[in-house]
Structure 1
């Protein structure tokens, strides 16, 4: 019985893509950069720090009062938990898909490209949703906050484009391909 090329390939099985785990890792890591840098180190905003001007009617928790900071810190913790779960999920999917030569995946442009793209997607979704649609916080509230929010979106767009181009410049990662040492004959 004759088989088509597509049928023959289906029997061989293509290597599992690292696109999904890379993007999920990027979303989690992008969230951590946002939370650690902007929420904790610079203290520019917290999850609910602009609810006095939000678009959905969330109670205002002034981050400059003890009780307000407690509530904002609680929501920052929930945000960090979601980021942590995204990183764990990304690692678990990556681990399940890359079954051989796992050390090589960490030097793959493809993985780092998808990770940067995921970080950029985090910025775009979180920026549009939290800063513009819900209005629950801004990158840097006050005069000129719209420019900080637009800059956050622009950074996200640059990360998406840069990540896409980086992953395209790499060789597809095949965990079953021999390493350079394994491929050489002695």
Structure 2
């Protein structure tokens, strides 16, 4: 009797969609909660404090550019997710997708924290204090925790085998 192996399963397309969406949605949380609701910082608030109307308008413009960029990331992730849903070689796994969302958000936090807060010094998590380090380190620690949790969920989701095309249809 001929040994027929099961078709190969590829988790990477679902992970890629989740990472893009997670990074975009994490950026929205950052922009909406920290920039707009709490008003802890703006994109350029360490370099250009929003203490005049002109400076506030410049910061608002760059916050808008930031929101446009994370919208594009989210839309690209959604487009990838849509195409994954039609593939029989990609397991449809809630754990893998949830882990990828969390991992993407964590990547956003770590990359944005290292580049904007540390390397370029464009802004800090909480701009209106003399010591920015505790909040900036907390932001990075939260991002690292998200990376760990996301990675663990993705690893657990690798055992899931239901093809996406069967799960949604």
Considering the TM-score relative to the shorter chain, is it more than 0.5?
Answer: yes
| In structure 2, distance between residues paired with 1:145 and 1:173 | 47
The answer to whether structure 1 residue 110 and structure 2 residue 99 are counterparts is no
Instruction: Show the 5 A alignment for 1:41-60.
Output: 41-51=37-47
Q: Which runs of 4+ in 1 moved over 4 A?
A: none
CA drift of 1:13 comes to: 5.6
The answer to whether structure 1 residue 122 and structure 2 residue 122 are counterparts is no
* Cα separation, partners in 2 of 1:13 and 1:126, compared to 1, 3 Å: same
1:110 and 1:172 in contact (8 A); partners too = no
| In structure 2, distance between residues paired with 1:95 and 1:178 | 13
The answer to whether structure 1 residue 20 and structure 2 residue 6 are counterparts is no
Instruction: Show the 5 A alignment for 1:5-154.
Output: 12=7, 14-15=9-10, 17-51=13-47, 61-99=48-86, 108-141=94-127, 142-154=129-141
SS at match of 1:28: helix
SS at match of 1:165: helix
2:95 and 2:153 in contact (8 A); partners too = yes
Look up the match of 1:57.
Answer: none
CA drift of 1:25 comes to: 0.5
* Cα separation, partners in 2 of 1:41 and 1:160, compared to 1, 3 Å: same
| In structure 1, distance between residues paired with 2:34 and 2:25 | 14
Which structure is larger by alpha-carbon Rg, 1 or 2? Answer: 1
| 1:93-118 residue CA offsets vs partner (Å, 9 max, x unmatched) | 110111179xx95x711101011000
1:47 and 1:76 in contact (8 A); partners too = yes
Look up the match of 1:58.
Answer: none
2:102 and 2:149 in contact (8 A); partners too = yes
* Cα separation, partners in 2 of 1:147 and 1:178, compared to 1, 3 Å: closer
Look up the match of 2:164.
Answer: 175
Unaligned runs of 5+ in 1: 52-60
Q: How many residues align?
A: 160
Q: Which stretch of structure 1 is more off in the superposition, 14-23 or 41-50?
A: 14-23
| In structure 2, distance between residues paired with 1:162 and 1:75 | 31
CA drift of 1:164 comes to: 1.0
